[in-house]
Each structure stands twice: as C-alpha cells, then as structure tokens.
Structure 1
Amino acid sequence: MARTRDSDACPGALHVHNAADGALARIRLPGGMITAAQLAAVAAAATRWGSGTLELTSRANIQIRGIQQDPAALADAVAAAGLLPSPTHERIRNIVASPLSGRVGTTTDVRATVVELDEAIRARPGLAALPGRFLFGIDDGRGDISGLGADAAVHFLGDSAALLLAGRDTGVRLPATQVVPTLVDVAARFVDLRGKAWRVAELDDPGALVADLPVSADASATWEPLTRPPVGWIEQRDGRVALGAAVPLGVLPARTAEFLAAIDAPIAITPWRSVLVFDLDEARADTALRVLAPIGLVFDEHSPWLSVSACTGSPGCAHSAADVRADAAAAVAEPAAGHRHFVGCERACGSPPVGEVLVATGDGYRPRTAPP
C-alpha cells in the first residue's frame, strides 16, 4: 500500500529530524563499515553536540540524538571524518551487507562490491530522488542479509548472484560483474515508477522493475530473517580474531565507542545493532575483551539482551506512550522464548522481521497484529 505523501522525512547528517529531545542526525555507513578514527570522531561529535550516546540502527547506521544547538557544526564534523562524501545523496546510501564477509567462512567476499555500489549510487544524479527508506542489500551467500527484506538486493551464489526485490527471489541470475550496474538500474526504475511509494513492496507491480531481465532460475528461494548478531570470540579464516559485541538496546555510550576506537582496528556496525572489531591477534583480542565486557558490551551468545530490542520511546519521541527502553531493560530479567521488540506507538519503528512486537498502550503493552 502506497503512502499518503510522495516523500519521507528520513533524517541524515544534513537534514535532521526535530524530535522531542532535540534534533536527530543519522549517519549512513554503507555495509556498516567504519574506521576506528571515524568512530572516534562520531563519538566526539555526540559528546559535544548531542546526548553523548550513539544509537545503532537496524540498517547498520549510527544516529546522534539530543542535538540542542548547531547541527551544522555536527554535520561539518561528520564530513571532516569522511562520512559524508555526497551532500546530494547522503540519505540514500542505505546498503546492508554481510558484516563477516571476507573474514569468516568461505562465502564470496563482498566488501569491494559494497564500495563499488556506494560509488555507483553517488555517481547517478537521478538517484538523489530515491526515498530515504529505500534499502540495498548484499548477501555474501551465508544468508544473513537476504531475509531482511531489502528493496533491491543480491544473494551471491559463488560466481553469480540471485537478484531479490523486497526480499523475494526474482529468478534473475547475474554474473558478478553485473551486480552493481543492475542494482543501480533497478533503483533508477523505481524512481521513475514509484509514484508515492517509498518501498518496492508498496508498488502495484514490483516485477516491472526487472521486466527486461531474463529469468533463468526457479524463483522459490527463501531466506529466514535473523535477529541475533554474531557475538563473542570469532575465529577469522586468516588465523586472526574478530570480537562481536551486542549493544544493549542499540544504545552505545560515546565513552564506550571511544574505547572501541582505541583498539585501532577495522570496525563494522551490524543490522542487529551490534559491533564487530576485526583483524586482532589473540593478545589484543583478549585485552580488548577484558576492557569492553565490564563496561556494558555483551559477548555472551546466550545473553537475554540478544532477545530484546526497542524503539526510542519517551521522552525522545513525542508519539510514544511509554518509556519503552526502560520497560525493555526490565523485561531482560524475564526471558521469553522468542525475540521481543517494545515500541511506543503503532508505527513500530525499527521492528525486526520476526518475533513479537509489543505496543505501548499507556496501560501496559499489547501484541501488534498489523505488519509495519
């Protein structure tokens, strides 16, 4: 079903959203990739101009809330860190990708594909008209991203890739060299055909986006959505170590982010609101683990924090009927069988694709029955 207006109000670093607790800036990280120096710069910006915390999103981006003054100065700091390469395209650089790609497992290494796609998006002037909610996905073959329902995505199958629309296999198979050109072409067609639709699933005929592409496979492949991040001590295939840390409710204190940056290693934010630190030798990994675990990051794959999430809620969101983060934190002491996402209103922001969504009523919570 199409929306009632022809564009959305997704914030960026330049176009902030005026929330109840101040302005909100969102920083896009294609593939969730960020350097230690960039994370340190974002943490410093959040401390100086914002609430002193970094919010990790379900698209592997970072938000800074509570900006009470000078959002332009914050945007300048983000740009100086190399995180704002295109003012015209900054809100549509939405790319989720398999965060362990190239380091863990034997699937296709898609890191270069993420960079190539980001560059191709920025090189197409017409794509600046994409809605800020349009999402690209690149799954390296392990099946962690394909279940997230990205608007235009690929799932690598060795030397070729399946083309997905709104999380569904189209039956189109692409050689690796055609993955990026095809994704940007699909996005450009969406701009032309979308009317007031923000997402591919809202089109009357999503197949029109790929009508000229040959179908060469049965379009029956499906992938289960994941809700739990990779956490703990993760062996890389090169013998080094990655550390996976869940961030309770996706709220990362700036001071904790500074500790992560001080490790001085490659970092990725995941779509499950967690952090990965890569390419560590065992000694550095052990030292980092001893420092980070006591300050709130979660490295236990059995932790109940991995089964609870929440939207912003009160007091940050004027639409919310409750302080849902506080309620979600309290619920950690009462583990449930599946994932629970607490939201303050029917919009159900940030809801995962599976699990129970609990909507605040002002007098407790009720299960949400309608899809987002």
Structure 2
Amino acid sequence: MTSSPARLRADACPGALQTHSAADGELARVRVPGGLLTAGQLRVLAGAARELGDGALELTSRGNLQLRGLAAGSAAALGDRLATAGLLPSESHERVRNVLASVLTGRSGGHLDVRPWVAAFDAGLRADPALAALPGRFLATLDDGRGDVTGLGGDVGLLALDPGTVALTLAGSDSGLRTTPATAVDLLLAATRALLAERAAQGGTAWRLAELTDGPARVAARLPGPRAAAVPLPPAPATGPVGAVTQRDGRTALVGVLPLGRLTAAQADLLAGLADDVQLTPWRSVVVPDLAEDRVDDAAVDLHRTGVVFDAESAWTRVTACAGRPGCAKSLADVRADAAAAVAAGTVPDGARLHWAGCERRCGRPRGEVLDVVATSEGYRVGRALPQSSAG
C-alpha cells in the first residue's frame, strides 16, 4: 500500500489568466492540448510574446507554452488575444487542459491517429463543470501505440495496443481496463471523474494520482468495463524524434529541437509560414508536417539559421535547464547561459542527459535518468539524484 503525502498548500500552477509573479515579471502558461497549434494561433502567440512579454515563448515538458516578462495586470489583454485565437475556450477549465499526444500521430507510425481523441477529450473536460476542480498538475496522455508519451507520468491515459484495442493507463501503469478506439475517450473521462472522486475521498489535497493511497487501484475499482491481464508499459524515451521523417503520404515532417525550449517570436512567425499547423513536443521540439519534397531543404535551412537543431546527435537534444537568473529570484546562477556555454565548448559528456538547475528545487527536470548540474553558493554541484517529475 502506498502512502499519501499531505499537501499543505493548494496547487498553484500558473495559467493564462492566473499568472505567476517571477523576478522578470509575470509568467503565463498557455495549455495546448496535444501540442497542436494552427499557423494562425502561432502568429497570435508570437504577437503576444513580442508586444506583451519578453519576445519569446517557452516550450514546457508537457507541450505547453509559457510567456515571460509580462507586465502586472496584462493577463486580461493576453486572455482576450488567446480567446480570439481559440486558445482559451474555457476560463474555468484552462489550467487543467494538460494533454500529451503521440508525436507525428496520424502521419507516421502508431496504430491509429489520436488527434480526434485530443479534441474529444478536451471538449469533454470543458463540458463538465466538476472537472474544473482538477489540480493544475493533472495530465492525460494519448498514445497511438508507439509508446512515446505513456511513460511520461500521466495521471490518466490511453494506449493503443493494436488498431482495435485500447488500454487505460493510470499513473503510468496498465489498469487492465480495455476499450475500443470509438469508446476510449468516454472511458478516459470516466477515469478522470473517478480520480477526482477518489481525491475528494482522501482529503482533496493531492496534486497527482500517484500521491493518493493506492490511487490507481482505487480509481480502477470505480470503473466498469472489460479487464485483461496488465501488460508492461514502455518507459519514457530520453529524447524524441529529430530531423526529417517521411510521412505515410510521402510528404516530410521536420522535427527540430529548440535549445532550452525557447521559441522567439520571429521563429514562431517563420514556422507559421511553413505549415498550416505544427505540433509541440514534450522534448521541447516542434514538428513541421506535410512538407513537399521540394520544400524540405529550404525549410530546414531557414529554421537552422535561427538556431533550430536538426542533428539527433547534438548535445541540445540532451540538455535542459530551469529559468535561472534573472527570471527566478531563488536561482543562484544564470543556468541557461552556463548551459549554452557548456554546449558551445563541447563539454557535455557524450550520451548524458544534463539538467541545469539554479537551486535544489530543480524545476523543469525531465523524467528518467538525468545528471543534475545544481547551482550552489560555492558553484555547481554535479551528480545524480532521484528522478523528479516536472509540471508544465
């Protein structure tokens, strides 16, 4: 039996309207279910970053976006822009729309296309007033069978086992519950409601399903449906795809890594001019799909000139960092500048994943085996620590 830690404060994850006060101004987090953005939405976000923020967008480990350096009181202006672009369809539910979807789903790999699941689950969340009470750290994962997002710590999730069979996952484990693609979202919504009910039964303070005493088992017990023997689930991959990927239809998708997850307004405008839609990934990269053969090289060159990385061997596929100075008052160092200097100097060990953190909290640390580079009052301390999940 697992124990449930007592949370002494309510979850305070920032949103688009509920901003967080940082050393460099207000921080807003915009939920992007499935990481799916239209070109028009990208242009709106670029304009908001340029005119309201510090000129850039930050990709998070959940495929969401953050704007930094916002002036106090600017949340209403930002909200108006996001609502016009369809990025704020519900003020009451905006912080709980954390949904990860398989990268390149419907275009390359996987048993099925989970994009319809993304839209249906998001709509179902927003249609249920009770689900607005979910913690801001709630996460759903929609995996088309390739196993890329199932291991990323979702509270609830779907994993296609074959084209006709879908498993319900709870806190990263197979619940044993099975469904079909057509009824999968109904089961996922039922599991989300069961999570909320079990959370309330255990005091209503937990931020994640894994924090509840026997959470996965108790949530599963609240749900009807056929069951099968649980199967092992794929672990979280260390990195996502990088470079050119041939789609089923013969066109090409470009997957580029954004160093430290920073997407400038100019880069966002460039991306919006290359494709009708893009997908943000939990590895702080961006997918530009549906490129004709004669456009691939030019698109890659244009993006590379702005700093987008298409080399799967680049250290930038393995280096992450928290905000650091000057954005975070708790940070003891400008960790982003120091991480960039290490990459430029070629001092990142081959094959190692490094996370640079400005303090012991290690915000933004990715899941899995990571080497921590933690700023202290006496310089950096390098060493491994217990994996710590991040929220974004």
When normalised by structure 1's length, the TM-score is: 0.96
Question: Residue 152 of structure 1: which of 153, 156, 177 is its match?
Answer: 156
Report if aligned partners of 2:355, 2:373 keep a CA contact under 8 Å in 1: yes
- Which amino acid in 2 is paired with 1:146? T
SS of the equivalent of 1:357 reads: strand
CA deviation profile, 1:265-299 (whole Å, cap 9, x unmatched): 22000011100011111122222112111110001
Give the distance between the partners of 2:180 and 2:304, measured in 1 at CA: 43
Give the distance between the partners of 2:126 and 2:274, measured in 1 at CA: 31
SS of the equivalent of 1:256 reads: helix
- Which amino acid in 2 is paired with 1:361? T
What is the correspondence of 1:164-203 to structure 2 with a 5 Å cutoff? 164-194=169-199, 195-203=204-212
Q: CA deviation at 1:173?
A: 1.5
Report if aligned partners of 1:311, 1:325 keep a CA contact under 8 Å in 2: yes
Question: Residue 114 of structure 1: which of 118, 126, 143 is its match?
Answer: 118
Higher mean displacement: 84-93 or 263-272: 263-272
SS of the equivalent of 2:17 reads: coil
What is the correspondence of 1:1-372 to structure 2 with a 5 Å cutoff? 1-5=4-8, 7-69=10-72, 70-157=74-161, 158-194=163-199, 195-206=204-215, 207-211=217-221, 212-213=223-224, 216-332=227-343, 333-336=346-349, 337-354=351-368, 355-362=370-377, 363-372=379-388
Give the distance between the partners of 1:265 and 1:344, measured in 2 at CA: 38
Q: CA deviation at 1:300?
A: 1.0
Higher mean displacement: 306-315 or 123-132: 306-315
Report if aligned partners of 1:310, 1:343 keep a CA contact under 8 Å in 2: yes
Report if aligned partners of 2:159, 2:167 keep a CA contact under 8 Å in 1: yes
Q: Which runs of 5+ in 2 are unaligned?
A: none
Q: Which runs of 5+ in 1 are unaligned?
A: none
Give the distance between the partners of 2:197 and 2:228, measured in 1 at CA: 27
Report if aligned partners of 2:156, 2:170 keep a CA contact under 8 Å in 1: yes
Report if aligned partners of 1:229, 1:246 keep a CA contact under 8 Å in 2: no
CA deviation profile, 1:9-41 (whole Å, cap 9, x unmatched): 111111111111100011111000000110011
Report if aligned partners of 1:265, 1:280 keep a CA contact under 8 Å in 2: no
SS of the equivalent of 2:182 reads: helix
SS of the equivalent of 1:259 reads: helix
Higher mean displacement: 261-270 or 122-131: 261-270
Give the distance between the partners of 1:6 and 1:175, measured in 2 at CA: 39
- Which amino acid in 2 is paired with 1:359? V
SS of the equivalent of 1:11 reads: coil
Report if aligned partners of 2:14, 2:27 keep a CA contact under 8 Å in 1: yes
Give the distance between the partners of 2:387 and 2:212, measured in 1 at CA: 16
Report if aligned partners of 1:266, 1:279 keep a CA contact under 8 Å in 2: no
- Which amino acid in 1 is paired with 2:385? T
When normalised by structure 2's length, the TM-score is: 0.91
SS of the equivalent of 2:341 reads: helix
CA deviation profile, 1:172-217 (whole Å, cap 9, x unmatched): 2222233212212222222222221000110011111110445633
Give the distance between the partners of 2:197 and 2:155, measured in 1 at CA: 15
Aligned residues: 372
Rate the CA distance shift 1:370–1:224 in 2: closer, same or farther, 3 A.
Answer: closer
- Which amino acid in 1 is paired with 2:307? G
- Which amino acid in 1 is paired with 2:298? T
